[in-house]
Chains A and B, each alone.
Chain A
Amino acid sequence: AQKITQTQPGMFVQEKEAVTLDCTYDTSDPSYGLFWYKQPSSGEMIFLIYQGSYDQQNATEGRYSLNFQKARKSANLVISASQLGDSAMYFCAMRGLEANNLFFGTGTRLTVIP
């Protein structure tokens, strides 16, 4: 079984500062993938970044990076140089080797303050 935990229901960050959104996971699968999605107030789910469990390096996509610590089972999202448009819900998700679908965490609402 897969489990995703996001312990921060809400976070605030000053514009242009960096912010870290926490995500821990639990799985018995030897191979798995970790994903982050952004959900703005308009409701759509926007893919941000992917980390494979056997990837040697932490994933990066522009201002997004994933701080992957396999031994601690954590996959935190780091957003650098926050912008007002980053205000949204952020969901961490994982897919195990056996499962075909994504398991989502409860999300973190990020608010960027001007």
Chain B
Amino acid sequence: EPEVTQTPSHQVTQMGQEVILRCVPISNHLYFYWYRQILGQKVEFLVSFYNNEISEKSEIFDDQFSVERPDGSNFTLKIRSTKLEDSAMYFCASRPLSFTDTQYFGPGTRLTVL
């Protein structure tokens, strides 16, 4: 069964450094998402991406964040200058076109900012 994959599974970085989190969505899906989950809290929406552009973003997704689909398979989240409060689990998700379609999540990348 196709699945969303994410790399790395765990990333440790120093405050102020740039990080890139990578995702490979399910191949026939058209909508891509990034969510984050701070330890012990609920999952929060960051950004959605469709037709090679951002379709929606939350207040969390400020100028420090960017997303890109550099080729036909990868979907990346970049944090330009990490802060301590960026430490969280970051989930990539994807879904097909229909409104009723389920979003399938990747296994997540745990980002630790020191």
Contact = CB atoms under 8 A, between A and B. Distances in A.
Interface of A: 31, 33, 35, 37, 42-47, 50, 52, 91, 93, 95, 97, 99-107
B42 A105 contact: yes
Contact of B104 (A47, A103, A106, A107): A47
13 contacts: A42-B107, A43-B108, A44-B108, A45-B105, A47-B103, A47-B105, A52-B100, A101-B35, A101-B45, A101-B58, A102-B43, A104-B43, A105-B42
B82 interface: no
Contacts of A33: 99-100
Q: For chain B, what secondary structure do more than half of its interface residues adopt (helix, strand, loop), or is it mixed?
A: strand
Contacts, number: 60
Given A43-B107, A43-B110, A45-B91, A97 B42 contact: no
Interface residues of B, number: 26
A97 B108 contact: no
Given A45-B108, A47-B105, A100 B42 contact: no
Interface in B38-77: 41-45, 48, 50, 55-56, 58
Given A31-B99, A97-B99, A104-B43, 19 more contacts: A44-B105, A45-B43, A45-B91, A45-B105, A45-B108, A47-B104, A50-B100, A100-B50, A101-B35, A101-B48, A101-B58, A102-B33, A102-B93, A102-B103, A103-B45, A104-B42, A105-B42, A106-B41, A106-B42
